[in-house]
Amino acid sequence: MKKTIPDIELMERGHQACLGCGAAHAMRYLLKGLGPKTIAAIPACCWAVIPGVYPYSCMDVPLQYVAFETTGASISGIEAALRAKGKKEGTTVVGWAGDGGTLDIGIQALSGAVERGHDVKYVCYDNEAYMNTGIQRSSATPFGAWTTTTPVGTTKAWKLSPKKNIVEIMVAHDIPYACTASVAYPEDLIKKAQKMKDITGPCFMHIYAPCPTGWKYPPEKTIELARLATDTCIFPLYEVTNGKYRITKRIKDEKKKDVLDYLRMQGRFKSLDEGAIQSIRDHVDFEWARLLRKEECFGEEQ
Amino acid sequence: MSGKELRCYEDLPPSPVTHDSSLVFKTGSWRTMRPVISKEKCKLCGFCWKFCPDVSIFEDSEGYPAVDYDYCKGCGICANECPFDAITMLEEDAI
Amino acid sequence: MKLVLSGNEAAAYGAMLARAEVISAYPITPQTKIVEKIADLIADGRFKTEFIKVESEHSAMAACISASLVGARTFTATSSQGLLLMHEMLHWASGSRTPVVMVNINRAVAPPWSVWADQTDSIAQRDTGWIQYYCESCQEVVDTIMQAYRVCEDPRVLLPAMLSEDAFFLSHTSEIVDLPPQEELDAFLGTYEPDVRLDIDNPRSFGSLSMPHQWYPEFRYKIQEGMEHAVEAIERVDREYGSLFGRSYGGLLDLYRCEDADTVIVAAGSMCSTIRAAIEELRSEGVKVGMARIRVFRPFPTEAFRALAKDVRSLVVLDRSFSMGSEGAFFSEVKAALYPLSDRPDVRGFAVGIGGRDITIETIRSIITDSLRPDTGITAQKWVGLRRCEE
């Protein structure tokens, strides 16, 4: 059997994730990339439950469960203590949080940690809402999505504001490395994780992790949907190394899929009208064009 | 990672620090649909292994992918991603 | 070595002498001098530590907890609003059984804005599972930091501790402070070596989910058990410190001239020095009065109060805080401690010095005069010195 990703499994069987959980893929791949010499901190999120109840855990790396808004501060503390103890060399400290724990309640601690320049890796697995509490909107929920707090109703009260761009916020902190990754492209994700491990200093990874339960699609479609998000340019894969942009999954114009293919697969977008769909299409095209320009102007050859 | 069984208060450490593996949770019991791999159709591409969120595809003694039914939750991603239609999802009740 | 130090500087020296390995703190008036002094000591190469200049008090405590789980001795300092912002993480520290030591400068809570002495901030943290010390002098701050690490890191205790000192009255008042020799303090303290820690060679998960039918109540009870062990540990460590360095502070409850006292004043913090002076005056006038200083509020000195109550006629409890809709916490808890006794002293309560209002010898004298009036039927706590319209 052909294996295009490392054999090592640091996330064990028996975890409690839902069927087809993209966040489970994300953790499996990340740990393959970071390896066993990793210490993780996980706040309130689906992954506070997935490892299993006490005294059991699916994690084969040390893990501290931390308070919702403290991931950035907690990994700062772990890193500082490892340095104080002379144990930092060769150990990777990673914060692993959901979109709510990263883009909303945890953004202050994250900003503080990367600004101070700790040698920490922060990974946000993004399922575009508060999924562990039952699908409430976060600032990572895209325009047009149904959630339990944007319930559409008769007034088309879907999420009205656009998704916050966390990678650009991280780039604005002038950190050595920030990137996006997707569970549909594990080789790319793992390569980026390995890159982060080798960089000294704060790094950020934003993983696209579809949620069948919250997005209302059948669990077997997780990878297909994630692939489509990248192929439609809704979630482009790129990395920013010392301010230099590089798109890691190039989508040629003729291969670019229409956003409708992506939207139609999910119950959370089923109420959208033509106008809303067109505005999503326009927004995606604008953002993709902007990313291409960034790469052109601030690419690695510049 | 294996520790002693917890029977009572006195066995507990001061704070909840895990000492055992999640392998005790046989999540195969969640399954309603069962993936069945056809060795005739399989071309050993490894997609099913790569894309399994439950780490439940392993390589059998002949080098073919096989399903660990103790843990496979039956999400069907392996069947959906298989480029050769080598995996069929069957209803558990029908087996 | 003797130095002239303020309460804030004493806290910084305390952290250095205890060899705190990770410090994570955020500035707030009137605590700022602590973080500044620590930064100076580091900049001058005298203090080797990892100082994380976090972006909030909430993060300060989060970083201390994580660092402690790696096995580092940790220190932080805050005050008032900062302590209130930390509240969630205070629970997290005790639940994680991390022996973090923190200095809190007791400052009033806004609004209205006030930076002056008031114990509402720390009293409001009484249910967080933290050991709470209240210091009376700059010397006691240094000595108590040493004692606190010994108590907190005791494997039978394993709890965090906060030391409170009153804003300005202590934080900004300088005294001669004797700093014991470093090597003797090293021998007294030892190093912090937790059994399990965040360690790549022994991967464990810290703090995982526990269902109601599993172990949640048991883990909570373990915190209470740690507090019960702390009673003995605080007394023992205070005595041992006294025999080594010549200074001890009465363990949990510091008694002053109580031997033949009819009336005993119960209080905490800097006002206790004023009370001592008032007692000298009253004694010279023939009033048999003493003081029981609450040095440790958590664990509560229940047994010490019961022993004291046997020989006194009345207790006069002074709170520099108030639980709105009820009464001062000291007043409530002293009464609760004495409730099982069949023969109880009269207990009267006064809220005094709120928001840093000055407590003079005269204030204490008037409270004593007030409480000595025979059978006034006072049971509710009285606010002292409210500026009401003259009747």
CATH number at residue C67: 3.40.50.970
Q: Which amino acid is at A150?
A: T
Note whether C209 and C65 are same-domain residues. Answer: yes
What pLDDT score does C377 carry? 59
What pLDDT score does C343 carry? 92
The token pair at B94 is 């029908």
Domains defined along chain B, listed by start: 25-94 (3.30.70.20)
Average pLDDT over residues C355-378: 87
Interface contact B16-C97, CB threshold 8 A: no
Say which residue the tokens 């006002």 belong to: C271
pLDDT over 70 at A302, yes or no = no
Say which residue the tokens 């023969």 belong to: C343
To the nearest whole Å, the CA of B93 is away from the closest chain A CA by 18
Q: Which of A12, A19, A54 sits opposite B55 (nearest CB)?
A: A12
User: What confidence category does residue A290 fall into, taking pLDDT thresholds of 50, 70 and 90?
Assistant: very high
Note whether C180 and C70 are same-domain residues. Answer: yes
**pLDDT digits 0-9 by tens, C58-91:** 999 999 999 999 999 999 999 999 999 999 999 9
pLDDT over 90 at A284, yes or no = yes
Domain boundary among the residues C245, C266, C300 is at C245
Note whether C217 and C317 are same-domain residues. Answer: no
From the number of C-beta atoms within 10 Å of its C-beta (0-12, 13-18, 19+), residue C44 rates as: exposed
Instruction: Tell me, yes or no, if C49 comes closer than 8 A to chain A by beta carbon.
Output: yes
**Of the listed ranges A233-247, C308-322, C336-350, C365-379, the one predicted with least confidence:** C365-379
CB pairs under 8 A between B and C: 40
Q: Where are the beta strands (DSSP E) in chain A?
A: 38-42, 56-57, 63-65, 92-98, 121-126, 177-182, 203-208, 238-241, 244-247
Q: Which of A11, A14, A220 sits opposite B24 (nearest CB)?
A: A14
Q: How many of the other CB atoms lie within 10 Å of CB of C122?
A: 30
Instruction: Tell me, yes or no, if A7 comes closer than 8 A to chain B by beta carbon.
Output: no
Mean pLDDT of all residues belonging to chain A: 97
Instruction: Tell me, yes or no, if A1 comes closer than 8 A to chain C by beta carbon.
Output: no
What pLDDT score does C375 carry? 63
Cβ–Cβ < 8 Å for A13, B71: yes
What pLDDT score does C381 carry? 86
What pLDDT score does B1 carry? 43
Domain boundary among the residues C245, C272, C305 is at C245
In terms of CA atoms, which chain B residue is nearest residue C198?
A: B17
Instruction: Tell me, yes or no, if A74 comes closer than 8 A to chain C by beta carbon.
Output: yes
Note whether C224 and C259 are same-domain residues. Answer: no
Note whether C7 and C96 are same-domain residues. Answer: yes
Q: How many of the other CB atoms lie within 10 Å of CB of C140?
A: 24
pLDDT over 90 at A219, yes or no = yes
Task: Among A7, A13, A28, A64, pick the best mutation site for testing chain B contact (most B Cβ within 10 A).
Answer: A13
Which chain A residues are Cβ-neighbours of C64 within 8 angstroms? 77
Average pLDDT over residues A128-142: 98
Domain boundary among the residues C189, C215, C245 is at C245
Mean pLDDT of all residues belonging to chain C: 96
Note whether C222 and C345 are same-domain residues. Answer: no
Domain that holds residue C32: 2-245
Note whether C233 and C271 are same-domain residues. Answer: no
What pLDDT score does C376 carry? 59
**pLDDT digits 0-9 by tens, A181-212:** 999 999 999 999 999 999 999 999 999 999 99
Give chain C's domain count. 2
pTM value is 0.97
CATH number at residue C322: 3.40.50.920
In terms of CA atoms, which chain A residue is nearest residue B3?
A: A55
**pLDDT digits 0-9 by tens, C313-344:** 999 999 999 999 999 999 999 999 999 999 99
In order along chain B (95 residues), what is the average pLDDT of each group of 10 residues?
76 91 97 98 98 98 98 98 98 85
- Give the whole-angstrom CA distance, residue C333 versus residue C339: 10
Report the complex ipTM.
0.97
Interface contact C199-A62, CB threshold 8 A: yes
Class for the domain spanning A22-298: alpha beta
The token pair at B30 is 């969640």
To the nearest whole Å, the CA of C142 is away from the closest chain A CA by 23
Q: What percent of chain C has pLDDT over 70?
A: 98
Is C389 contained in some domain?
no
> What chains are in contact with C, requiring at least 3 Cβ pairs below 8 Å?
A, B
What pLDDT score does C378 carry? 59
Interface contact C198-A62, CB threshold 8 A: yes
pLDDT over 90 at C254, yes or no = yes
What pLDDT score does C374 carry? 72
Interface contact A76-C66, CB threshold 8 A: yes
Note whether C278 and C236 are same-domain residues. Answer: no
Q: Which of C96, C203, C221 sits opposite B15 (nearest CB)?
A: C96
Task: Provide Rg for chain A, Cα atoms.
Answer: 19
Task: Provide Rg for chain C, Cα atoms.
Answer: 21
pLDDT over 90 at C390, yes or no = no
Cβ–Cβ < 8 Å for A78, A56: no
pLDDT over 60 at A114, yes or no = yes
Note whether C268 and C341 are same-domain residues. Answer: yes
Report phi then psi at C162, rounded to 5: -115, 140
Q: Where in chain A are the domains? A: 22-298
